[in-house]
C-alpha cells in the first residue's frame, strides 16, 4: 500500500518534485518515487499522463512484468489463424496452433523487420518479405535462403526463432500473455475479476460479431480511469440520467488494480424513464433495454482490459498504448454462440449506437478524454483531484465515487516501483 493505502489520506496539498529533463528543456520529468506523496492526497500529477520517460517505464514494467490482454480467443477461430498486435511497445504475433496459443515477437531475427504485416490471417508459416526468412506461426525458424553459406559454427535455427512470451493463458475468452516467466497464474492475477468475468460469460462459448477500432488522443490510463469513473456517467452523458438509466450504481474495488461499476439492468426503460427520468422520450428504447435480469457491469482488468456487459451487449476492449498521448482502442462485440440472428443484430445495434465511437455515450467519452490530455499537456505542474468518496472508502462504494481510480493507482505505483 502506498500513502495511506486504499484509504488514502484526506485533502491536502503536496506537489511532487519536478525534474528538468536534460534532453528536452521544455519538458518536465517526474520520479515515480515522488508520485506517492500526491497519490496520498488523492491527486495524480499530470506528468503521469504526459511524461515520455514515465511512459517508457510503464512499457518496460507494467507491460512486461504482468499479464497483458493480446486479444480474444474468438479472434483465432481455427488452427493457423493469427493476429498481430502489441504488448505495450512490443510488436507481437498471436497465433493458434495444434498445441494452443503462442505469442511471439513480431520482429525478424535476421534484420528486424516485422514478419506479420497484416492485422490478421491464417497461415502455418509467416515469411519476412526482406530476405525470405520463414517462421512457423508459433515462432520457430523454419527456413533460411542460402543457408549453406551461413557459418558452419554458430548458425543454429533453434536460436533464431521469434522470441516467444513464456506465459500465455486463455481465460473467459480473453488471451493474456506475459514476458515474465515468474508471473503468477492468470487466475491468481485476475483474482475476483475472474469471478466477475465468469458472471458475464456464464461459461458459455461466445462469437465475435464485429468490432470497432478508434484512436484516443490521450494517455492509456485516462481511458481506464474513465471506465472506473462513475462520477462522470450521469454528468457528461446527459442522456442517461434523463432516461433514468444509470441508477443505483456501485463502484466495487477489486484486488490487483481491477475494479467494477455495477448497476441493475433495465427491462422496461420506457416506463422507467417516465417515473425516474426527466421527461425525455425516445422512439426506440431497444438501444438500451434488455430482458436479461441482473446487473450491467463495467469491469476493468489491470492493465489493459475493459469488459462491458450492458443491456444485451458484451464488449471486450483491448487498450493498446501507442505513445504517451495516443492510444488505440480495439472494441470487440461478443454474443453467446447460441444467440439468434435477431439477438445478434440487436446487440450489434446497441454497440454501435450506445458504446461506439459515434455512440450516445462512447462519443462523449472520447471528446472528454481528448480534452483532458490537451489540458494536462499545457500544465505540467498540475495534478488531478480524485477525492470523491474518500471519506467513506470501502470495497463496495457509491457509484459516484472515485474509489476505483485511487485503488488503480495504488496498484500502478506498486508495479512501477518493482
Q: CB-based contacts of 58: which residues, under 8 Å, 6+ apart?
A: 88, 321, 416
Check binding of 282 to other proteins (CB under 8 A): yes
As measured in angstroms, the least distance from the Cβ of 211 to other proteins is 6
- Quick one: which of 153, 156, 275, 283 contacts other proteins (CB under 8 A)? 283
Restricted to residues 48-107, the positions that interact with other proteins (CB under 8 A) are none
- Cell 549453406, located at residue: 148
**How far is C-alpha 145 from the chain's CA centre?**
40
Report the C-alpha gap between 199 and 300 in whole angstroms: 14
Helix (H, G, I), strand (E, B) or coil at 390: helix
- Quick one: which of 6, 80, 348, 382 contacts other proteins (CB under 8 A)? 348
Check binding of 277 to other proteins (CB under 8 A): no
- Quick one: which of 214, 232, 395, 398 contacts other proteins (CB under 8 A)? 214
Closer to other proteins at the Cβ: 11 or 345? 345
Closer to other proteins at the Cβ: 285 or 412? 285
Q: For residue 94, give the nearest of 70, 77, 64, 117 by alpha carbon.
A: 70
- Quick one: which of 66, 88, 321, 356 contacts other proteins (CB under 8 A)? 356
Assess contact for 384 and 234: CB atoms under 8 A: no
- Quick one: which of 6, 32, 113, 239 contacts other proteins (CB under 8 A)? 239
Check binding of 363 to other proteins (CB under 8 A): yes
Check binding of 360 to other proteins (CB under 8 A): yes
Assess contact for 106 and 115: CB atoms under 8 A: yes
Closer to other proteins at the Cβ: 126 or 216? 216
Residue 101 has which C-alpha cell?
Answer: 496459443
Computed over its alpha carbons, how large is the radius of gyration of the chain?
Answer: 23
- Quick one: which of 333, 383, 413, 416 contacts other proteins (CB under 8 A)? 333
Report the C-alpha gap between 312 and 310 in whole angstroms: 6
As measured in angstroms, the least distance from the Cβ of 75 to other proteins is 10
E strand or H helix that includes residue 86: strand 81-87
As measured in angstroms, the least distance from the Cβ of 311 to other proteins is 14
**How far is C-alpha 300 from the chain's CA centre?**
7
- Quick one: which of 358, 374, 375, 396 contacts other proteins (CB under 8 A)? 358
Q: CB-based contacts of 263: which residues, under 8 Å, 6+ apart?
A: 246, 247, 248, 249, 250, 295, 296, 399
Closer to other proteins at the Cβ: 176 or 220? 220
Residues that bind other proteins (CB under 8 A): 119, 208-215, 236-239, 242, 282-284, 287, 328, 333, 344-345, 348-349, 351-353, 356-358, 360, 363-364, 366-368, 370
Amino acid at each position: 500500500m502506498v500513502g495511506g493505502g486504499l484509504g488514502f489520506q484526506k485533502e491536502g496539498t503536496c506537489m511532487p518534485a519536478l525534474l528538468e529533463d536534460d534532453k528536452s528543456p521544455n519538458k518536465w520529468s517526474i520520479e515515480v518515487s515522488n508520485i506517492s506523496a500526491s497519490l496520498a492526497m488523492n491527486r495524480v500529477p499530470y506528468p503521469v499522463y504526459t511524461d515520455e520517460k514515465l511512459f517508457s517505464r510503464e512499457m518496460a514494467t507494467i507491460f512486461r512484468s504482468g499479464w497483458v490482454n493480446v486479444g480474444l480467443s474468438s479472434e483465432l477461430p481455427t488452427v493457423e489463424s493469427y493476429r498481430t498486435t502489441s504488448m505495450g511497445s512490443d510488436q507481437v504475433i498471436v497465433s493458434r496452433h495444434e498445441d494452443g496459443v503462442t505469442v511471439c515477437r513480431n520482429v525478424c531475427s535476421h534484420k528486424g523487420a516485422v514478419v506479420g504485416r497484416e492485422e490478421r490471417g491464417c497461415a502455418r508459416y509467416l515469411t519476412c518479405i526482406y530476405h525470405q526468412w520463414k517462421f512457423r506461426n508459433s515462432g520457430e525458424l523454419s527456413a533460411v535462403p542460402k543457408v549453406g553459406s551461413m557459418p558452419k559454427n554458430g548458425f543454429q535455427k533453434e536460436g533464431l526463432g521469434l522470441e516467444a512470451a513464456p506465459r500465455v493463458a486463455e481465460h473467459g475468452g480473453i488471451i493474456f500473455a506475459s514476458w515474465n516467466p515468474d508471473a503468477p497464474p492468470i487466475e491468481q492475477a485476475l483474482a475476483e475479476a475472474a469471478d466477475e468475468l465468469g458472471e458475464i460469460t456464464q461459461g458459455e462459448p461466445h462469437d465475435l460479431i464485429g468490432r470497432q477500432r478508434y484512436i484516443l488522443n490521450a494517455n492509456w490510463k485516462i481511458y481506464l480511469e474513465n471506465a472506473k469513473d462513475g462520477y462522470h456517467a450521469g454528468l457528461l452523458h446527459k442522456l442517461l440520467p434523463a432516461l433514468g438509466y444509470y441508477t443505483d450504481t456501485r463502484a466495487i474495488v477489486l484486488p490487483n488494480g481491477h475494479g467494477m461499476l455495477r448497476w441493475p439492468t433495465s427491462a422496461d426503460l420506457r416506463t422507467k424513464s417516465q417515473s425516474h427520468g426527466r421527461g425525455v422520450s425516445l422512439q426506440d428504447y431497444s438501444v438500451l433495454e434488455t430482458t436479461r435480469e441482473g446487473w450491467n457491469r463495467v469491469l476493468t482488468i489491470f492493465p489493459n482490459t475493459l469488459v462491458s456487459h450492458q443491456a444485451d451487449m458484451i464488449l471486450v476492449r483491448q487498450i493498446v498504448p501507442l505513445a504517451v498521448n495516443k492510444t488505440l482502442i480495439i472494441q470487440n462485440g461478443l454474443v453467446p454462440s447460441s444467440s439468434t440472428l435477431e439477438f445478434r443484430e440487436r446487440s450489434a445495434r446497441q454497440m454501435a449506437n450506445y458504446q461506439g465511437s459515434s455512440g450516445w455515450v462512447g462519443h462523449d467519452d472520447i471528446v472528454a478524454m481528448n480534452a483532458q490530455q490537451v489540458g494536462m499537456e499545457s500544465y505540467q505542474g498540475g495534478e488531478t483531484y480524485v477525492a470523491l468518496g474518500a471519506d467513506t472508502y470501502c470495497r463496495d462504494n457509491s457509484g459516484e465515487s472515485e474509489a476505483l481510480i485511487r485503488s488503480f493507482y495504488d496498484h500502478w505505483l506498486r508495479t512501477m516501483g518493482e
